[in-house]
Structure 1
Amino acid sequence: MSLLFKNLRIHQVFGANTDVGKTIFTTALVRASASIQDAVFYLKPVSTGPMQDADDEHIKQFAGKHRGKVQASCLFRYSDPVSPHLAARLDAQRKGQEVSVPSDQSFVNSVAKHVQSCASRLSSYAHMYVETAGGIHSPTLSGTTQVDSYRPLFLPTILIGDSKLGGISSTISSYESLLLRGYIVDCIMLFRDEYYRNWEYLIPYFAEKGIHVATVDPPPPRLDDVRHNWASTENYYDTIVPSSRDGSIFDTVTHLDTCHTRRLDDLHSMPRRTLESIWWPFVQHGLVKEEKDVAVIDSASGDFFSIYKGHSMQPESIPSSPSTDSMLELQFDGSASWWTQTLGHSNASLALAAAKAAGRYGHVMFPRATHLPALHLAERLVHHGPGKGWATRAYFSDDGSTAMEVAIKMALRAYSVRNGGRLDSAMRKNLGILGLKGSYHGDTIGAMDACEEGVYTCEWHDAKGYWFDPPSIGIRNGEVHITLPSAVAAETTSGSEDIQAQSLSWAYNVAERLKTPLADVYRTFIRRTLQRLRESGQPPLAALIIEPLVMGAGGMIFVDPLFQRVIIDVAREDSTADRPNHSAEWSGLPVIFDEVFVGLYRLGMESCGPLLGVNPDISVNAKILTGGVVPLAVTLASDSIFQAFLSENKTEALLHGHSYTAHAVGCEVANETLRIVESIKQSDDWNVARQAWDASCTSEDPAAIWSLWEPEFVHRLSTQPSVKEVMSLGTVLVIKFEDGRGYTSDAAERLLLPIKDCIPRGADGAQNQPFGIHFRTLGNVAYFMTSLNTSLETVRRIQDRLSEALGPS
C-alpha cells in the first residue's frame, strides 16, 4: 500500500530517540511549507498522554500566520502517557475485554486511508508530514516496532537525530535500522547543541553517504507561565522559519521537494531506459514494444509489489494537472517471484541475518574450510530436514540449475564406479537419464540435457535418456480424476484414459494404492518399456530424475504419485550390476529428487519422500531455502553416493564448484528462514487450512495433503465452463483452461487479464486496501502461489477476484 502522489509530497518523521525534537522540527517544516504551498497536512497517527500535550495540538497552536492552510489530525488517541502498545492495552481493558487492540494491518490501513483522503481534497501542490511516536523502534499499538509497522506504507523519511549525550550512536544506529528495511532516508535533522556538538561529527559522516543534514539552534527552555511560554516558543519558530524564507528549514523543504521530483522522474523514465538496456529472461522482446507494458516495481512488502502506474496514464494527465490518485498501486505477487518467496518481501529478520553474515564474513573461501552459517545449515538439512534418515552430506551451490548439474555429476559418477567393468569411455560419455516428459531442471546446458527437447532447450542441447509420458491428477467438475497416457490406458482392463479417484486424499495415499491393479499396470508398462530400450541398444540409463508430485516449468503437471513411486521401485531393480554390499546403498539406478520447486513446504510438506514412501539417493533444494533474499542451493547425497568420489586420487574428487560456494550470507539467511518456517508450521492459519481439507490432518503428518486455498473454492473453480481442470497443494493453485495449444496458448493470460487491475477503491471492503494480482502463465495454464505466511484473509480476497473474473459457474 505504498503511497506516492504527483502533487502531494509526503514525508514521514522518525526520531533517533524520544525527546529529540520531532514535533519541533515537524512544526518548523509545516510552517515553512505553509508559507509556500496552498495546503499542508500533518498527521500524528498515535498520540498518548494529556490532550494539552498532544503533538497535533502543538502544530495547530504554532502553525504561524498561515495556520489556515494547515490541517492537523490524529487517528488513535490515548490518555495514558505511556508507550502506544501499553496505552492501547490499558484503554482496551477500561472499555472491556471485547475491545481489541488494532492490528498492524488495520493500523496501517487507517493511516493509508487518511493520506488518500487528504490527497483527494487537493486542488494544487501540497506537502504532508506524518510524525511517529518516540524512537524508531518504539512499539506501535500491536507491539510491533514502528520501523516495521509503518514499512508497508514506504513513505520517504526524515530522521530527527539525537543532539544529546550518546546521540551520535543512536542517530547512526537509527539510520542503519531504516536502511536495513529499505526506507528512503531523504534528510537528517538535529539541533545544533553547543555542548555535545554532535552535529559536527554527523554532518560530514552523512555527507559521505550523500545524505542531506540540516541543523538549527535548540528551542528555549519551557516556561511555567503559559502566555510567556507561548510567546517564547512563537519567537523561536519565527527565528528558525523567518518570513524571508531563507535558512536551514527552507533549504530542507526545497531539498525534500527535489527528492520527490527526482523519484517521480526516475520512475517515469524507467520503462524507456529498461527497454533500451535490459534483456529479460523468458520474454520475447518483439512483443513488448510499449512503455506501458513494463511493470515498474518501486518497492515490495509482504506479499505485494508496489507498482508505478504513472507511465501507463494518458500523457495529458501527467504534466501539470493535480492528481488525487496514488501513482503506485498494490499488486499481489502471484508467482511468489518465480517461486522464491517464503516469508514475503522485505522481511526484517532475513535482512538482519544477511547483514549479520555480511558484516562478520562477507564471502570466504570454502574448500577445506568451514564457518558456522554453512555448518549449521548443513547439519539442519542433513539430520533434521529433508535429508533426515538417508542423507549424510550437503553440497552447496548457487541456484537450482547448478545444484542439479552437481546432482547429475554425482549420479553419473556413482553409476560409472558401480558399473565400471561394463562401460568403455564412449559409453560413459553417452550415459542417459530416465525421467518424465515435461521435466525441467534448469537452464544450464547439462540440466537441459537431462530433459527431452522442448521450448526451453537450445542449439547445444543433446537430450540423453528416455522420458515416460506420466499420468496426472486434476480436479474436474468437482471430482478428482487420474488421466492416463494412451499407451498406459491401453494396458488397463477398461482401456479408458480417465479414472475417477475416490478422493484427493485417496489419490495421494501411495501405500494403499500400491495394492491396486493400476500399480501393476504401471509396473508392467515401465518394465516392458525399459527392457525394450535395453534390447534396442540405446546407451545405458544411469540415473532416474523426477520432480516429485508437481512438474513446475513443464506446465504445472500434478503427476500421479503412484506412477512416480512405481518408476522409482522399478529403477532400483538391479538386474545388470552386482548387488551392493550394504542395504543402505543404492541399487539399479541412483534416484535424484529435484525438489527445487516443491520442497521445503511449498506443497505443505518438507519433502515429498514421506508421501511417496521412499527416499532419494540425491536431492536438490533451492528457491524457498533463502526466503527469496539471496541465491543459494544445496544438493544432499547419501553416503553411498559420497563414497563413489572418495579416494586418495585428487582427480577422482567432485571437481565442481563456484566462487561463492557456501556463501555465508546465503547460509545465514537460510538458517533464519528455516527457523521461522518451523513456527509457521504451527500457526493458526495453517491449522485452519489443514482442518478445512481434512479434519484429521495435523502438523505432525509429514505426508498430509492440504492447501492454503479453500477446498470449496477449488472445487467450485473446477466447474467453470472455461476451466479444464484445477489442482491445489500447499501454497500452489493451478488452473488449466480449455485450449489445446499448450505453451503457445494465450487463453490463461486473456481470461484472467481483469485481475491484474486494482479494484476501484471502496469496492473491496472498508478495512482493506485494494490490489491487483501479478501472475505468470504457462500457455493455457495459470498458476498462483502464496508465501508460506500469507494470511488466509489475503487468500480469500484473491479467490474472490478469480471467481469474479471467471464468472459464475
Structure 2
Amino acid sequence: MRQVGSVLWPKLRVLQVYGANTGVGKTIFSSLLCQAFQRHFPKVHYLKPISTGPLDEADDQHVATLGQNTRARCLYQFSEPVSPHIAARSSSKPVADANVRTAVHDELRTYATDEDGIAIVETAGGVLSPSPSGSSQADLYRPLRLPVFLVGDHQLGGIGTTISAWESLRLRGYDVQSIALFAEDRYDNHTYLKSYFAERDVHAFSIPPPPGRDADAVQDAEEMRKYYTSSSDHRAVSDFTNRFLEAHEMRLRNIQLMPSEAEQAIWHPFMQHTERSKDTIVAIDSAYDDYFQTYTTKRAAQQASSPEAPLLVPAFDGSASWWTQGLGHGNPRLALTAAHAAGRYGHVMFAGAVHEPALRLAQTLVEKTGNPRLSKVFFTDNGSAGMEVAVKMALRAAAVRNGWSAEDDIRILGLQGSYHGDTIGTMDCSEPSIYNKKVEWYTGRGQWLDFPQVKMRKGQWVVEPPATFEGALGEVEEFESLAAVFDLGNRSQHRDLYRDYLNGWLAEQARQGTKFGALIMEPILLGAGGMMFADPLFQRCLVEAVRKQESSATSARGEHEWSGMPVIFDEIFTGLYRLGRFSAASFLGVQPDIVANAKLLTGGLLPLCTTTASQSIFEAFLSKDKSDALLHGHSYTAHAVGCAVANESLGTMMKMERQGAWTTFRESWLPSSHGLSLSTSSGEVWSMWSNAFLKAISHRPNVDYVFALGSVLVIALKDPAGASYASAAGAGLRDKLFAGDSGDEAVIHSRVLGNVLYLMAAISTSRETLEAIEEKVFSALE
C-alpha cells in the first residue's frame, strides 16, 4: 500500500468534521458549511469516507441536494445501519485503515486543481467510534492530520462527551479549528462549553437547532433548505469560515517560512553551518508511525508547477529519529501514558523519595536484563549524562579497591572509534576524533584497541581483522551465515588468537604501570564512530581477559563482584531490542558490571537514561562521610512522566517479543546449517532487513560492504579518498533517497556518517513498509 501523509494543498482547503457523539448533527453542520463556503469558492466538495445504512438515507445523498456547486461522494457504503466495524464483516474484502486513508487522499487530490476550492470530510459516529477495521476513527485518520471542526453534543450529558472528544483529538495531535453545537435551551450545553473553551483559547460557537421533521417530505425539504440558508448566513458561521480560511493561509505561511526562520534562529547539532541554507533545512510539520511529513523549498517549487501535488511529503524516518524511535511517532498509547503521569505527578523531586513509575522501571531493568550482577538503578536524563555516571561509578570502585588517590593517572580501556557522549567526561573516554580533538578541555585519558569487524562483501559474511595488526588477530575469516559468526563456541581458532593477543597486551600494560579504572564498550555495534560491527568473539575475549588481570590487591570477593576492572557496557544505542534482543550483552555471553540504557527506553517520546550497577559497585560509595556518596543528579531525575512512558514502551516491546511479532523478519535469517550451537549466544541472530536484500546490495559496484542486525542496516560506500567521518561519499546516496523518484510521493530521510549510510526501522515497523524501503534503496544504488 502506498504511503500517504498529511494533506496540505495551497489552493484546496480541507476541513474534517468530527462529532462528539452520534446524533449530534454532523451532517447538518457539514451541509450548512458547504452552503456557507459556496459564497467563497466555485467548487465545494463533500466527502463521506465511510457510511452505513440504506443508500437512500446516506449523508452524501442529502448533501448533494444543496446545489449545483456542491459535489458529494461516499467512498465506502455499507447497507447495514450499524457501526462500521460490524457492517464491514459482511464485506467480501476487509477494509484496512491504509486503504481508507489512501482512498481519501487520492479523492482529495482530484479536487486540488488550479482553481481554489474547499472540501468537507465528514466522519461517522463519534471521535473514537470504530472504523471498519476496528481501530478508532481518530487513529484511522490521524496520518492525514486534517484540521478539525468538532460538532459538540447538545444533548443530556453532552458537556462531558464534547470535552472528552476534544481531549482525545488533542492527545493525537489534531488541530481543532472550532467547536460548534446547537443552542438547545433545555440543557444549555452551549453556554457552558463556549465559556469552557474560551478559557483554553479554543473557538466555540452555537447556532439555533434545525426545525423538527415534517411528515410531508416536500415540506420537510423546504424547511431544511430555508434553515441551511439562514444558518449559513449566521454571524457565527461566517466568523468561523473566515477564521478557517485565515488559519489555512497561516499554516501555509508558517511551514513555508520555517526553513528561512530556522536559518536565522537555530544552531543545529552535528552540522557545519557554512554548508547550511534555507534550501537544505527540512521542515517537519508532523510525524506519525514511521514517517515525517516534510516541507522543503525544493518541494515548494515542484508543487507550484503541479497544483495537485501535496505541499507536504511523507519521508520514512530512516534514523529512527536519531536512534530513539521504537513504537512509531504519535503513538496514542504512549501519549495517553504520558498524559496520565503528567496529570498524576507532573514532576516530583526524587532525592530520598520514590514513585511507582520509577520503582517499576528499575525492577524491570534489573530483572529483564538477565544479568545477576546488576542490582541498583541510577536515573539521568540523557545517554551522555548516564555514561558520565557510569564512569564515575567505575572509577570510584576501582580506586577504592586498589587504594588509588586523586593524584594517580587512572585510564579508561576502550575500542577505537568508540563514542560515549558529548559531555567533557565522556569525551575523555574516546580516542581523539572529529568529535573531540578540537574541544579545548579534551585530554583523552584512555587506551583504545583496534578490533576485527563483521562485514558482508559480495554476499559473503567475513570477519576482517584490522590491517594494522599484521596477522596478530588472524586472517580474514569467512562464514556461511551471520548466525555462524555468533556461534562463538565453534570458533576455537580465533578464540585462542584473541586470548593470546589480549592477555599479552594487558600484561604489557601492567608492566608499564598503567592503571585502568574501567573497560568501556558499546557491545556489538559502535554507533556514532561509524557504525562498526565488532566481532562478538573479540569483545567477549576482551571482557574475559580484563577480568583475569588480578593483582594481589584486587582478588575477587564473590561470584558477581567485578574483577580486574569494572566492565561498563554502553547500550544507549544497542540495547532494548535495537539489535533484536532486550540486552545486547546477551550476544557476547558475558555480563557487564555497569550498563547504561536510553534511546529506545521511552519509545522515542521523552529523554530518559538509566545506569544500572552491581552491588559491589554500589558499595564503593558507602561510608559515613557524605562526600563519599555519588553526588550526581538532575532536577528532572527519574522524571515521573518519562518513567511511566518507559514502562509502557518496554512492556509493549516485551509483549511483541512474547507474541512473535518479528517472526516474519526472523524467517529469512534462519541458518541453512543445523549444526550451530546458538545457545552460546542465547538465541537467534536476525534482522528486520531481509537477508536477500542485504546480499543483493552487497554486490553493487559502489558498495564496499554492508551488514544488518535487528532494526539496523548499514551501507558503506567506496571512497577513493578513504573512509572517514569527513568523507562525502554517503551524502549523494542520502540526497538521492530524499529526492525520490519522479511522481513518487514517499521519500526516505536518512543520516550519514562519512561514507556510511545507515537506516533503522522502529521495532513496530511492518514487513510491508520495509520491503518498499528496500526497493527504493536498491534502485538508488544503481
1:368 alignment partner, SS class = coil
Whether 2:634 is the aligned partner of 1:655: answer no
- Separation in 1, partners of 2:351, 2:495: 46
Per-residue deviation, 1:654: 1.0
Alignment TM-score, normalising by the size of structure 1: 0.93
Aligned residue among 751, 754, 758 for 2:733: 751
Aligned residue among 88, 98, 110 for 2:103: 110
**Aligned pairs (5 A) from 1:350-369:** 350-369=334-353
Match of 2:161 in 1: 170
Per-residue deviation, 1:380: 0.8
Match of 2:454 in 1: 473
Cα offsets for 1:425-465 (capped at 9, x unmatched) = 310xx311100000000101111111111111111111111
RMSD: 1.9
Aligned residue among 323, 327, 330 for 1:339: 323
Whether 2:746 is the aligned partner of 1:771: answer yes
**Aligned pairs (5 A) from 1:385-464:** 385-386=368-369, 388-420=371-403, 423-427=404-408, 430-457=409-436, 458-464=439-445
> Is contact 2:48–2:75 with CA below 8 Å preserved after alignment?
yes
Match of 1:801 in 2: 776
Whether 2:266 is the aligned partner of 1:275: answer no
2:398 alignment partner, SS class = helix
Per-residue deviation, 1:699: 13
- Indicate the percent of aligned positions where both proteins have the same amino acid: 44
Whether 2:3 is the aligned partner of 1:22: answer no
Match of 1:724 in 2: 704
CA 1:751–1:311: 2 relative to 1, 3 Å: closer
- Separation in 1, partners of 2:660, 2:224: 52
Structure 2's unaligned 5+ residue stretches are none
Whether 2:526 is the aligned partner of 1:551: answer yes
> Is contact 2:32–2:229 with CA below 8 Å preserved after alignment?
no
Structure 1's unaligned 5+ residue stretches are 93-98, 764-769
2:374 alignment partner, SS class = coil
Aligned residue among 38, 43, 48 for 1:39: 43
Per-residue deviation, 1:309: 3.6
- Separation in 1, partners of 2:69, 2:261: 39
- Separation in 2, partners of 1:582, 1:267: 61
Whether 2:210 is the aligned partner of 1:219: answer yes
> Is contact 2:714–2:757 with CA below 8 Å preserved after alignment?
yes
Match of 1:324 in 2: 308
Match of 2:301 in 1: 314
Match of 2:94 in 1: 101
Aligned residue among 140, 147, 171 for 2:138: 147
Cα offsets for 1:106-154 (capped at 9, x unmatched) = 12111111111222xx232111110001110000010000011110111
**Aligned pairs (5 A) from 1:580-591:** 580-591=556-567
Match of 1:530 in 2: 506
> Is contact 1:510–1:611 with CA below 8 Å preserved after alignment?
no
CA 1:22–1:726: 2 relative to 1, 3 Å: same
Cα offsets for 1:533-579 (capped at 9, x unmatched) = 233344x1110010000000000000001110011011101332331
- Separation in 2, partners of 1:257, 1:30: 14
Match of 1:573 in 2: 548
2:308 alignment partner, SS class = coil
Match of 1:646 in 2: 622
2:335 alignment partner, SS class = helix
**Aligned pairs (5 A) from 1:475-554:** 475-491=456-472, 496=475, 498-513=476-491, 516-538=492-514, 540-554=515-529
- Separation in 2, partners of 1:523, 1:285: 46
**Aligned pairs (5 A) from 1:198-277:** 198-242=189-233, 247-277=235-265
> Is contact 1:709–1:731 with CA below 8 Å preserved after alignment?
yes
Match of 1:49 in 2: 53
Question: What letter corresponds to residue 273 of structure 1 in structure 2?
Answer: E
**Aligned pairs (5 A) from 1:604-643:** 604-643=580-619
Cα offsets for 1:445-504 (capped at 9, x unmatched) = 111111111111111111111000111000001001111123434325xx64x2223431
> Is contact 1:387–1:636 with CA below 8 Å preserved after alignment?
no
> Is contact 2:17–2:26 with CA below 8 Å preserved after alignment?
yes
Match of 1:95 in 2: none
Per-residue deviation, 1:523: 1.5
Number of residue-to-residue matches in the alignment: 769
Question: What letter corresponds to residue 665 of structure 1 in structure 2?
Answer: V
Per-residue deviation, 1:679: 2.5
Cα offsets for 1:255-311 (capped at 9, x unmatched) = 11011001001111111111111100001111013x121100000000000012456
1:666 alignment partner, SS class = helix
Cα offsets for 1:225-284 (capped at 9, x unmatched) = 211211121121122124xxx622222111110110010011111111111111000011
- Separation in 1, partners of 2:296, 2:268: 20
1:82 alignment partner, SS class = coil
CA 1:172–1:556: 2 relative to 1, 3 Å: same
Question: What letter corresponds to residue 24 of structure 1 in structure 2?
Answer: I
- Separation in 1, partners of 2:625, 2:661: 53
Per-residue deviation, 1:530: 2.1
- Separation in 2, partners of 1:199, 1:706: 57
> Is contact 1:687–1:699 with CA below 8 Å preserved after alignment?
no
Query: More deviation in 653-662 or 742-751?
Result: 742-751
- Separation in 1, partners of 2:151, 2:496: 73
Per-residue deviation, 1:388: 4.2
- Separation in 2, partners of 1:280, 1:474: 32
- Separation in 2, partners of 1:295, 1:14: 31
- Separation in 1, partners of 2:111, 2:635: 52
> Is contact 1:12–1:155 with CA below 8 Å preserved after alignment?
yes
Whether 2:288 is the aligned partner of 1:301: answer yes
1:693 alignment partner, SS class = coil
Question: What letter corresponds to residue 373 of structure 1 in structure 2?
Answer: P
Question: What letter corresponds to residue 250 of structure 1 in structure 2?
Answer: S
> Is contact 1:393–1:638 with CA below 8 Å preserved after alignment?
yes
Alignment TM-score, normalising by the size of structure 2: 0.96
Cα offsets for 1:299-351 (capped at 9, x unmatched) = 00000000124565339x75xx8822211111000000100000110000000
> Is contact 1:609–1:616 with CA below 8 Å preserved after alignment?
yes
Match of 2:654 in 1: 678
Question: What letter corresponds to residue 284 of structure 1 in structure 2?
Answer: Q
> Is contact 1:757–1:771 with CA below 8 Å preserved after alignment?
no
Question: What letter corresponds to residue 368 of structure 1 in structure 2?
Answer: G
Query: More deviation in 351-360 or 389-398?
Result: 389-398
Whether 2:668 is the aligned partner of 1:692: answer yes
Per-residue deviation, 1:774: 0.2
